[in-house]
């Protein structure tokens, strides 16, 4: 089987919880992302985690130039999670997208983070460089259909002249297998073209307690 009952693949099983698959928590509290810190060694582990949903995967994408022609190859890794905390418990972490009430009657808020690190190189092999995405702030979660979850917010993206903050960011999980990362082109000087950055979902885990 692709996943057993302990490893819950992103999709209906996760999405119907209202939490979804996305947005990382405590392992990235420092909001620092070294180049491929989690996966150059083939390591998708998160260390100690609080209850919630965690996911990881690869970035493998072709981005177009200003004329709509394939021009750049992107390759790297991403991690994400979403957790619920009592309202106000983690005020220094990313803002909650919505509030809910736990079985114990406590007000809960969804907290999460998304981080990515990837190479970008021209299709002819030149101009190799790296980008990182972190400091994701979740503002909205939606489900256009049973197999799709969309997580909107803002993030910080490293660019040639330095990090660009408050970049409108939309992360979408599709049919348990594909992730798309859309960075507002106007905020990053159209650096990634006008299409999303695509990748795969290779691991999704639910921590119950």
Cβ-contact 158, 35 below 8 angstroms: no
Dump pLDDT digits (tens) for 69-85: 999 999 999 999 888 76
pLDDT value at 181 more than 70: yes
Give me the pLDDT at residue 48, please: 59
Main-chain phi, psi angles of 26, to 5 degrees: -55, -30
Among the ranges given (21-35, 44-58, 126-140, 141-155), the one the predictor scored with the smallest mean pLDDT: 21-35
- The per-residue pLDDT for 36 is 42
CA angle 187, 189, 194 (to 5 degrees): 85
pTM for the complete prediction? 0.71
Q: Mean pLDDT for the chain?
A: 76
What percentage of the chain carries pLDDT values higher than 70?
A: 66
Task: Answer left, alpha or beta for residue 51, where phi above 0 means left and psi between -120 and 50 means alpha.
Answer: beta
- What is the structure's pLDDT at 113? 82
The pLDDT-based confidence of 168 (bands split at 50, 70, 90) is very high
Mean pLDDT value across residues 41-64: 76
Tell me the pLDDT tens digit for each residue of 87-143.
Answer: 554 433 344 455 443 443 444 577 778 999 999 999 999 999 999 999 999 898 889
% of the chain exceeding 90 in pLDDT? 52
* Per-domain residue ranges of the chain: 12-207
Residue 183 pLDDT exceeds 50: yes
Residue carrying structure tokens 């999709």: 11
How many C-beta neighbours within 10 Å does residue 33 have?
A: 20
Asked if pLDDT for residue 9 goes beyond 50, the answer is: no
**Looking at per-residue confidence, does 131 or 45 come out higher?**
131
């Amino acid at each position: 089987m692709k996943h057993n009952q302990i490893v819950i693949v992103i999709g209906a099983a996760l999405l119907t919880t209202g939490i979804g698959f996305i947005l990382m928590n405590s392992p990235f509290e420092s909001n620092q992302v070294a180049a491929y810190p989690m996966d150059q060694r083939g390591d998708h582990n998160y260390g100690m985690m609080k209850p919630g949903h965690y996911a990881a995967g690869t970035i493998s994408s072709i981005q177009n130039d200003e004329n709509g022609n394939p021009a750049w190859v992107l390759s790297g890794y991403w991690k994400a999670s979403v957790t619920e905390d009592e309202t106000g418990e983690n005020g220094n972490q990313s803002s909650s997208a919505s509030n809910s009430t736990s079985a114990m009657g406590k007000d809960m808020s969804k907290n999460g983070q998304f981080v990515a690190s990837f190479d970008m190189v021209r299709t002819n092999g030149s101009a190799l460089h790296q980008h990182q995405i972190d400091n994701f702030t979740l503002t909205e979660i939606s489900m256009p259909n049973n197999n799709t979850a969309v997580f909107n917010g803002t993030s910080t993206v490293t660019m040639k002249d330095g990090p660009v903050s408050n970049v409108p960011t939309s992360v979408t999980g599709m049919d348990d297998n594909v992730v798309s990362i859309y960075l507002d082109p106007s905020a990053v000087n159209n650096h990634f073209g006008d299409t999303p950055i695509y990748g795969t979902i290779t691991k999704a885990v639910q921590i119950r307690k």
